Structure 1
Amino acid sequence: MKFVILDVDTGIDDSLALAYAAHSPELELLGITTVFGNISVEEATRNTLVVLEQLDQEIPVYPGEAKPLSRDYTKPFARHIHGEDGIGNQYRQPASRQPENQGAAEFIIEQIQQNPGQVTVVAVGPLTNIARAIQMQPEIVQQIERLVIMGGAVTVPGNVTPFAEANIYSDPDAASLVLGSGMPITLVGLDVTMRTLLTADHLDEWRSTNSELALFLANMTDFYMEAYKGVVKSGRGCALHDPLAVGVAIDPSFVRTASYAVQVECTEQDSLGKTTGIHDTPAAHIDVALDVDADRFLEHFLSRVI
């Protein structure tokens, strides 16, 4: 069993990733940390607690950073993709539980230091919490087992600009700090996540079970698929960005990687957040996912999520 912290900006695919992780016996979820990104950190924290209640899970939730590491946040929240509430307009009432008082960065540091070489962090939002933890305790770079990041677009175009993927674009300075830290990292970006596809037929299968969780996730994801119209070419569906990062934490063989040094553009506004990979260099230490066994991953995801 692997000790895991899941770092989320809980929108729709974050919620699917959370359900996948919570239902995977290979992972012991030590806690969920939240960050701004798809929505505000307050909404991400609220949504995480709501999703965990749907999952009948009492995993502790630790609120994190509300804004980028060192600049004003100018990117609009992605309500057109994730709904006004961040979960496909399925929010009805707050969860019965409250978040923890400890902050996300402090919790990440504490768990890595208490379990040296055993904690994997799966980050599926902006990397601000991870960067803050490194700033506070740089030694965790050597103590973490691995950081799996859903972010970046090393060999393909971006999704929020022609150059940048949304999580990196939301805080390029944090991404630059983390990717340059020397920490063992697997980067699961648009290079592979756009090759995964959940379809409307899968949502119909979920609804056929008539469970409260299945209906909640199906209705939420239906909004996401609507936002994906024109992006997905083969019928109605959506990419499983964040769940694939969880899948790689469970089974790294879902993807094929190559070692790169990855640089993040932090100054040029037109290409802000662009992730450039340099392959043939002694500094290459980041495992960048370049190919994915999409069918095998999808089958595994579907066997666990509901």
Structure 2
Amino acid sequence: MNRQRVTSRNWRAAWVAAVLFVGIGCASEDTSSEEVPSGRNVNVDELRPPVIFDHDMDFDDAAALAHLARLHKAGHIDLRLVTITSAGAGLPGRAIRHTRCLLERFGLGTVPVADSRRLGVNPFPDVLRLTFEQVLTDMTPGCLASEEPSTVPAEQAIINVLVESTRPVTVIATGPLTNVAGAIELRASQGGRSLAPRVSRVFVQGGALRVPGGLCCGLEMTFDQTQTFNPWADPVAAQTTLDHFLLTDIAMIGADATNHVPIRTDYLARLNAEATTPEAQFVRDLANHPVITSSVTSGFPIFWWAPLTSVAITTQGVVDDELVRIAVIQTGPSSGRTLEVGAQLGGRLVRFGVSANQVLFEDAFLNGLNTPIP
């Protein structure tokens, strides 16, 4: 099929054309009983995009959380909610504890945090979960934050923030999409309207389009390496999310783009020299953890997966996109693969990241972590 390259300048026009093509009437019907404010008569503070950050507390999610925390404190975004899924790298209880610890460390202990113990289809290998658990435990010494589940489960917390917001929300999901899909399903069971009109943009970390995927740790014997971990962990949730946000600006930032932002020793040296804020210093210390540095020096493929996604929400040009139709393979050796298919086969329009600018990313990530607070 012909592919349309989408730049930051022509993306909006392309998306409007795509929306009109599939039919805007459905979205209008969904919003009939719940008004989505237009954005008129707002003050400067209200111009900050409200954000939900949903993650699975891998080491790179912790780095992305530090970046988003700094942007929030600097007034660039409004971090409304942080949710944690148990379907990915983080261990139940420990993942929410680490999240609470980091938000307290960054002075954002009042930002709501919620988790879900709902599991995905395919569990992450224990060796990965235990390794990253040790890294994050080492990074939060002395923290006494609770491991207890949130009073409000993540799925309901997501619904609450979306429904209560006076403006559409940006959703950033850097783990399996189990929580997001769970919110969609819970909302439907409650008889509520679609969540899609309450969301302005969805950024999803995961997928591979024209490059190999990258499972590990024995999974190579069962799966064909066309998939990446997040959609593989819960392909049902990934497809549910794409289907629900059919008319929403969805960006998928997977291996095609993240392969261009490896963790480099030169950049570690720059972090060591230039980190000036608590958030930047945390990322510096995290990147210098022996597990990370030994992986980098040994040539193991380790990348700034989640941080590339968090940087992309505020930095134009860091990710090069193409407008494609994607479906998620549900079963078999290719389970979790993000495959380009036609609309008749269930392909959903997304902006798929096909490349990334390493220099721009590294500058923007460090600058974001060091952003002055007004």
TM-score normalized by structure 2? Answer: 0.72
Q: Please say if 1:274 is aligned against 2:337.
A: yes
Q: CA RMSD in A?
A: 2.7
Give the conservation status (yes or no) of the 8 Å contact 2:85–2:176. Answer: yes
Q: Please say if 1:230 is aligned against 2:280.
A: no
Residue by residue, what CA displacement relative to the aligned partner does 1:229-278 show, whole Å, maximum 9, x if unpaired? 3335xxxxx4211011111222343222222221111111x211111023
Structure 1 residue 296 displacement after superposition: 1.2
Alignment of 1:42-57 (within 5 A): 42-57=93-108
Looking at structure 2, the residues matched to 278 and 17 of structure 1 have their Cα atoms a distance apart, in angstroms, of 31
Looking at structure 2, the residues matched to 77 and 252 of structure 1 have their Cα atoms a distance apart, in angstroms, of 37
Looking at structure 2, the residues matched to 241 and 221 of structure 1 have their Cα atoms a distance apart, in angstroms, of 13
Residue 157 to residue 20, structure 1, CA distance change in 2 (3 Å): same
What is residue 233 of structure 2 aligned with on the other side?
A: 170
What is residue 156 of structure 1 aligned with on the other side?
A: 211
Structure 1 residue 168 displacement after superposition: 0.9
Alignment of 1:1-306 (within 5 A): 1-24=48-71, 25-36=75-86, 37-58=88-109, 59-68=111-120, 71=121, 73-77=122-126, 79=128, 82-87=131-136, 89-96=138-145, 100-115=150-165, 118-138=168-188, 139-160=194-215, 161=220, 162-181=225-244, 182=246, 184=248, 185-208=250-273, 216-222=282-288, 223-228=291-296, 229-232=298-301, 238-268=302-332, 270-278=333-341, 284-306=348-370
Give the conservation status (yes or no) of the 8 Å contact 1:38–1:86. Answer: no
- Of 37-46 and 217-226, the range deviating more from structure 2: 217-226
Residue by residue, what CA displacement relative to the aligned partner does 1:98-124 show, whole Å, maximum 9, x if unpaired? 774111111111111222652011000
Q: Secondary structure at the match of 1:89?
A: helix
Structure 1 residue 81 displacement after superposition: 8.6
Letter matched to residue 112 of structure 2: P
Residue 117 to residue 284, structure 1, CA distance change in 2 (3 Å): farther
Q: Secondary structure at the match of 1:192?
A: helix
Structure 1 residue 9 displacement after superposition: 0.8
- Of 143-152 and 53-62, the range deviating more from structure 2: 53-62
Q: Secondary structure at the match of 2:136?
A: coil
Percent identical pairs in the alignment equals 24
Give the conservation status (yes or no) of the 8 Å contact 1:81–1:227. Answer: no
Letter matched to residue 41 of structure 1: P
Looking at structure 2, the residues matched to 81 and 218 of structure 1 have their Cα atoms a distance apart, in angstroms, of 22
Structure 1 residue 215 displacement after superposition: 5.2
Looking at structure 1, the residues matched to 271 and 362 of structure 2 have their Cα atoms a distance apart, in angstroms, of 14
Number of aligned residues? 297
Structure 1 residue 34 displacement after superposition: 0.4
For structure 1, the 5+ residue unaligned runs are 233-237
Structure 1 residue 35 displacement after superposition: 0.6
Runs of 4+ in 1 over 6 A off after TM superposition: 279-282
TM-score normalized by structure 1? Answer: 0.86
Residue by residue, what CA displacement relative to the aligned partner does 1:176-230 show, whole Å, maximum 9, x if unpaired? 2112221521101111011013323333344445876555433322322423533
Letter matched to residue 150 of structure 1: Q
Structure possessing the higher radius of gyration over alpha carbons: 2
Residue 267 to residue 190, structure 1, CA distance change in 2 (3 Å): same
Q: Secondary structure at the match of 2:134?
A: coil
Residue 113 to residue 203, structure 1, CA distance change in 2 (3 Å): same
Residue by residue, what CA displacement relative to the aligned partner does 1:72-99 show, whole Å, maximum 9, x if unpaired? x443145379534352733423344777
For structure 2, the 5+ residue unaligned runs are 1-47, 189-193
Residue by residue, what CA displacement relative to the aligned partner does 1:50-90 show, whole Å, maximum 9, x if unpaired? 2222222222211124411xx4x443145379534352733
Residue 216 to residue 250, structure 1, CA distance change in 2 (3 Å): closer
Q: Secondary structure at the match of 2:313?
A: helix
Looking at structure 1, the residues matched to 49 and 119 of structure 2 have their Cα atoms a distance apart, in angstroms, of 30
What is residue 235 of structure 1 aligned with on the other side?
A: none
Looking at structure 2, the residues matched to 204 and 158 of structure 1 have their Cα atoms a distance apart, in angstroms, of 29
Q: Secondary structure at the match of 2:317?
A: helix
